[in-house]
Amino acid sequence: MDVDQNSLEVMTAIQAAIQAFALCERIRGDLAGGESLLKSDRSPVTIADYGSQALICKFIRERFPSDAIVAEEDSRELRRPGRSRILEQVTDYVNAFIPASSSEEVCSWIDFGSNSVAGRFWALDPIDGTKGFLRGDQYAIALALVEKGMVKLGILACPNLYADVRHPSGEKGCLFLAVKGKGSFQMDRTGVNKRPIFVSKTRSPSEAVMTESVEPDHADHLTHQRLAWKLNIPKPSLRMDSQAKYGILARGEVTLYLRVPSPAEPGYKENIWDHAAGSIIAEEAGGRVTDVMGRPLDFSSGIKMEKNRGILVTNGILHEAVLKALEM
Cβ-closest position to ligand AMP: 213
Nearer to ligand AMP among residue 251 and residue 275 (C-beta): 275
183-187 vs 172-179, strand pairing mode: antiparallel
Which residues in this chain contact ligand AMP in the complex, by CB under 6 A? 128-129, 213, 215, 217-218, 241-242, 262, 265, 268, 271, 274
Are 175 and 15 contacting, i.e. CB atoms less than 8 angstroms apart?
no
Candidates 12, 46, 91, 130; catalytic one: 130
CA distance 324 to 109: 46
Nearer to ligand AMP among residue 124 and residue 187 (C-beta): 124
Q: How far is the CB of 39 from ligand AMP (least distance, A)?
A: 18
Q: How far is the CB of 305 from Mg ion (least distance, A)?
A: 13
Residue 290: which of Mg ion, ligand AMP, none does it interact with, CB under 5 to 8 A by kind?
none
Residue 265: which of ligand AMP, Mg ion, none does it interact with, CB under 5 to 8 A by kind?
ligand AMP
* Contact pattern for Mg ion over residues 89 through 128, marking x by CB under 5 A: ------------------------------------x--x
Q: Is 5 helix (H, G, I), strand (E, B) or coil?
A: coil
Alpha helices (H) along 64-169: 84-95, 103-110, 130-135
Residue 213: which of ligand AMP, Mg ion, none does it interact with, CB under 5 to 8 A by kind?
ligand AMP
Task: Write phi, then psi, for 153 (nearest 5 degrees).
Answer: -155, 150
CA distance 31 to 44: 7
Q: Does the active-site annotation cover 49? A: yes
Which of the residues 264 through 323 are near Mg ion (CB under 5 A)?
Answer: 274
Q: How far is the CB of 129 from Mg ion (least distance, A)?
A: 6
CB 168: neighbour CB atoms within 10 A? 11
Residue 268: which of ligand AMP, Mg ion, none does it interact with, CB under 5 to 8 A by kind?
ligand AMP
Candidates 49, 241, 274, 291; catalytic one: 49
- Eight-state DSSP code of residue 158: E
Residue 215: which of Mg ion, ligand AMP, none does it interact with, CB under 5 to 8 A by kind?
ligand AMP
Q: How far is the CB of 242 from ligand AMP (least distance, A)?
A: 5
Q: Does the active-site annotation cover 211? A: no
CA distance 30 to 188: 23
- Eight-state DSSP code of residue 51: H
CB 81: neighbour CB atoms within 10 A? 6
Q: How far is the CB of 121 from ligand AMP (least distance, A)?
A: 18
CA distance 62 to 79: 23
State how far the alpha carbon of 292 is from the alpha carbons of 56, 251, 313, in Å. Answer: 32, 22, 9
Q: Is 135 helix (H, G, I), strand (E, B) or coil?
A: helix
Nearer to ligand AMP among residue 31 and residue 303 (C-beta): 303
CA distance 65 to 259: 35
* Site residues (vs Mg ion, CB under 5 A): 125, 128, 274
Q: Which residues are catalytic?
A: 49, 130
